[in-house]
Amino acid sequence: MDICRQVGLNVQRIRRTRGWSQEQLAFESGLHRTYISGIERGARNPTITVLKELADALGVPASVLLESDAAAVDEEGTIAPIRSS
Amino acid sequence: MDICRQVGLNVQRIRRTRGWSQEQLAFESGLHRTYISGIERGARNPTITVLKELADALGVPASVLLESDAAAVDEEGTIAPIRSS
DNA sequence: ATGTGACTCTCAGTCCGTA
DNA sequence: TTACGGACTGAGAGTCACA
Residues A53-67 have a mean pLDDT of 95
CA of A26: how far to CAs of A11, A13, A21, B6, in Å? Answer: 12, 15, 9, 25
Assign B69 a pLDDT band (cuts: 50, 70, 90).
low
Residues A40-63 have a mean pLDDT of 96
Tell me which of A39 and B72 has the higher pLDDT.
A39
pLDDT at residue A68 in the model:
81
Residues B63-78 have a mean pLDDT of 63
Assign B1 a pLDDT band (cuts: 50, 70, 90).
confident
- The one-letter amino acid code at A53 reads E
Candidates A75, B42, B79, B29; CA nearest to A10 is A75
Give A29→chain B minimum CA distance, Å: 16
Candidates A3, A20, A74; CA nearest to B47 is A3
pLDDT at residue B73 in the model:
46
Select the residue of A45, A63, A67 nearest B49 (Cβ to Cβ): A45
pLDDT at residue A55 in the model:
97
Contact A72, A80 (CB under 8 A): yes
pLDDT at residue B70 in the model:
53
Assign A70 a pLDDT band (cuts: 50, 70, 90).
low
A47 DSSP β-pair partners: B47
d(CA B37, CA A65): 25
Tell me which of A68 and A56 has the higher pLDDT.
A56
pLDDT at residue B79 in the model:
44
Give me the CATH code for the B3-61 domain, please.
1.10.260.40
Cβ < 7 Å from nucleic strand C: A 30-32, 34-35, 38, 44-47, 49-50; B 21-23, 33-34, 37-38, 40-41, 43, 47, 49
Domain segments of chain B as ranges: 3-61
Choose the mutation target among B39, B47, B48, B49 for the interface with A, i.e. most A CBs under 10 Å: B48
B35: pLDDT strictly greater than 60: yes
